[in-house]
Amino acid sequence: MDDPTPKPGDRLAAMAAVALEQIAAVDSLEADLAAAKARLDRTQRTDLPELMKELGISEAVLPEVGIKIALTMGVDASIPEPQRAGAFAWLAENGYGALVRAEVKVTFGAAELEQATACASLLTERDYETEIKMSVPPPTLKAWATERLEAGEDIPPELFNVRSYDMARISNSKAKRKKA
């Protein structure tokens, strides 16, 4: 008589098949989410702003559906890699140097934990390989660019990629009334 207990190899193959199905499901959901985000982005950055401009309005309250829509300025901002040094210098020269962050990376061997903790005072005395990485955190750059644009100030396009656009901000006024 055959033993009805599944063999370990069969169980392993079955569990691996379940994992593959789960991976495919997650991949599919991530693709669906990316597509939904792209559709929402188009609606908020293009379709609604164009319709509101066509109607000659910058804000609308739709009490029948409990929605408030307001056009606001959205901003995308970045510093292209080839312009980083120039952009950082420009920020420093124009009073915005505090936006720039400097990261020092030091490489130690696995058994050098004690030296790593004393690194700050020893860097100049020791011959460790170091790397300095300068950056402006993306949210900081975006907030700074938004403030400059709202103030009517110019941002050098040869150093910074800054693009402003109309954004339809949507809020649910019914949800706010229920909380109150």
Give the tens place of pLDDT for each residue, 91-128: 999 999 999 998 877 777 878 777 667 775 666 676 76
How many helices (H) and strands (E) are present in the chain, helices listed first? Answer: 7, 5
Give the tens place of pLDDT for each residue, 134-162: 899 999 999 999 999 999 999 999 999 99
What is the model's pLDDT at position 180? 44
What is the model's pLDDT at position 3? 65
Q: To the nearest whole number, what is the mean pLDDT of the chain?
A: 88
> Is the model's pLDDT at 179 over the cut of 90?
no
Q: Using DSSP, state whether 62 is helix, strand or coil.
A: strand
What is the model's pLDDT at position 1? 59
Residues 6+ apart with CB under 8 A from 142: 75, 76, 77
Q: How does residue 163 score in pLDDT terms, banded at 50, 70 and 90?
A: very high
Percent of the chain at pLDDT exceeding 90: 69
Tell me the whole-structure pTM to 2 decimals.
0.68
> Is the model's pLDDT at 29 over the cut of 80?
yes
> Is the model's pLDDT at 81 over the cut of 70?
yes
Q: How far apart are CA 179 and CA 172, in angstroms?
A: 11
